[in-house]
């Protein structure tokens, strides 16, 4: 029998999966690089297109562009001097940077420093909670966000798994996503997967169906992030619309019509869209 979860979190922000809908393009290419962490310096900056608040890019903007064009991930840390939580988060980031084997750059941004106004304005972080830590990947998109102090382990787990990266890519392309989490022991697995595939076919080009094996160790972090029992009796199916909103969660059997309706449903947001010309803080995921 089909069941649908209507908990508050299921219709709000699903961790980092929705933060990408802010989609701040940073105009970079791709290369190779290594891990590095260092304090933001105050050297002269070079011109950068698309910034209206000043004629030169801040050091933080330059470092971010360089890191992403080098094929690195980047942790962008917004802080304010004198804030105790910011100091704690900074220590955790520094410790993470010393230990990680990830190809990641740590970039620290004093939000109150006028020399950083370009990156603060571009990412609309003027009124966002701090400490604010954003993880960006080389294709110029935000893939994780933390609005409080988090541990080194959480910083490590924020890097997207293969299936999460696939879902993020679909959302960035303006598609909805149907995610089915299952394992070989589930009696209804084939039926649920077949209906997910049928829904994808009905919405050809608008929705992608992604099957996730609950026993795949590479997806353990993604499964935990979505608060999914790693050993449920039946498949768990999530539906995310093209706006990156979670519009359905189903346990066990699910009807094709329900999947199609959920995939095309739009939940109104209280924040202004990126194209409105108004300033809004970035869409916030549930804090971890």
Q: What is the CB neighbour count within 10 angstroms for residue 257?
A: 12
Where does the pLDDT of residue 224 fall: very low under 50, low under 70, confident under 90, or very high at 90 and above?
Answer: confident
CA atoms within 13 A on the CB side of 139: 9
Stronger pLDDT, 177 or 45, i.e. the higher one? 177
Residue 28's pLDDT is: 31
What is the chain's mean pLDDT, rounded? 79
Q: Which residues pair with 176 in a beta bridge?
A: 207
Residue 109's pLDDT is: 96
- 133 Cβ partners below 8 Å, 6+ apart? 75, 76, 77, 78, 89, 93, 145, 146, 150, 155
Can the peptide bond before residue 131 be classed as cis, meaning omega within 30 degrees of 0? yes
Ramachandran region of residue 179, left (φ > 0), alpha (ψ -120 to 50) or beta?
A: beta
Asked if residue 126 lies in contact with residue 268, where contact means CB atoms within 8 angstroms, the answer is no
| Domain 3-12+162-263 CATH (choose: 3.40.30.10, 3.40.50.300, 3.50.50.60, 3.40.50.9100) | 3.40.30.10
Residue 26's pLDDT is: 34
Question: Which H helix or E strand runs over 240?
Answer: strand 236-240
Which fold, 24-140?
A: Glutaredoxin (3.40.30)
Residue 141 has pLDDT above 60, yes or no: yes
Where does the pLDDT of residue 269 fall: very low under 50, low under 70, confident under 90, or very high at 90 and above?
Answer: low
- 275 Cβ partners below 8 Å, 6+ apart? none
Where does the pLDDT of residue 108 fall: very low under 50, low under 70, confident under 90, or very high at 90 and above?
Answer: very high
Stronger pLDDT, 41 or 130, i.e. the higher one? 130
Per the structure block, which two tokens stand in for 256? 């094709």
Mean pLDDT value across residues 220-233: 90
For CATH 3.40.30.10, the residue range(s) in the chain are: 3-12+162-263, 24-140
Where does the pLDDT of residue 140 fall: very low under 50, low under 70, confident under 90, or very high at 90 and above?
Answer: confident
Per the structure block, which two tokens stand in for 14? 């699903």
CA atoms within 13 A on the CB side of 265: 16
Stronger pLDDT, 2 or 220, i.e. the higher one? 220
Per the structure block, which two tokens stand in for 280? 């809004």
Where helices occur in the chain by DSSP H, the ranges are 16-19, 59-69, 84-99, 117-122, 152-157, 162-172, 189-202, 220-225, 256-263
- Could you tell me where the beta strands, DSSP code E, fall in 16-79? 36-37, 73-79
Phi, then psi, of 239 in degrees rounded to 5: -125, 130
Phi, then psi, of 82 in degrees rounded to 5: 85, -5
Cα–Cα nearest to 239, from 230, 226, 229? 226
Residue 18 has pLDDT above 70, yes or no: no
């Amino acid at each position: 029998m089909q069941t649908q979860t209507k908990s508050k979190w299921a219709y709000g922000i699903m961790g980092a999966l929705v933060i990408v809908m802010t989609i701040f393009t940073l105009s970079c290419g791709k290369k190779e690089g290594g891990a590095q962490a260092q304090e933001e310096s105050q050297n002269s900056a070079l011109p950068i297109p698309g910034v209206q608040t000043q004629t030169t890019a801040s050091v933080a903007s330059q470092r971010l562009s360089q890191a992403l064009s080098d094929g690195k991930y980047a942790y962008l840390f917004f802080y304010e001097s004198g804030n105790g939580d910011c100091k704690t988060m900074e220590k955790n980031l520094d410790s993470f940077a010393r230990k990680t084997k990830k190809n990641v750059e740590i970039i620290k941004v004093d939000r109150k420093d006028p020399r950083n106004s370009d990156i603060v304005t571009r990412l609309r972080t003027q009124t966002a909670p701090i400490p604010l830590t954003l993880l960006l990947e080389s294709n110029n998109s935000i893939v994780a966000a933390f609005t409080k102090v988090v541990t080194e382990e959480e910083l490590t787990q924020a890097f997207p798994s293969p299936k999460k990266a696939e879902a993020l890519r679909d959302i960035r392309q303006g598609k909805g996503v149907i995610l089915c989490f299952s394992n070989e022991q589930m009696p209804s697995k084939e039926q649920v997967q077949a209906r997910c595939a049928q829904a994808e076919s009905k919405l050809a080009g608008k929705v992608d169906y992604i099957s996730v094996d609950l026993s795949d160790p590479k997806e353990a972090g993604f499964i935990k992030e979505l608060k999914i029992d790693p050993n449920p009796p039946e498949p768990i199916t999530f539906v995310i619309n093209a706006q990156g909103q979670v519009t359905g969660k189903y346990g066990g059997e699910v009807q094709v019509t329900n999947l199609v309706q959920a995939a095309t449903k739009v939940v109104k947001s209280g924040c202004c869209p990126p194209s409105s010309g108004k300033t809004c803080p970035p869409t916030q995921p549930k804090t971890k």
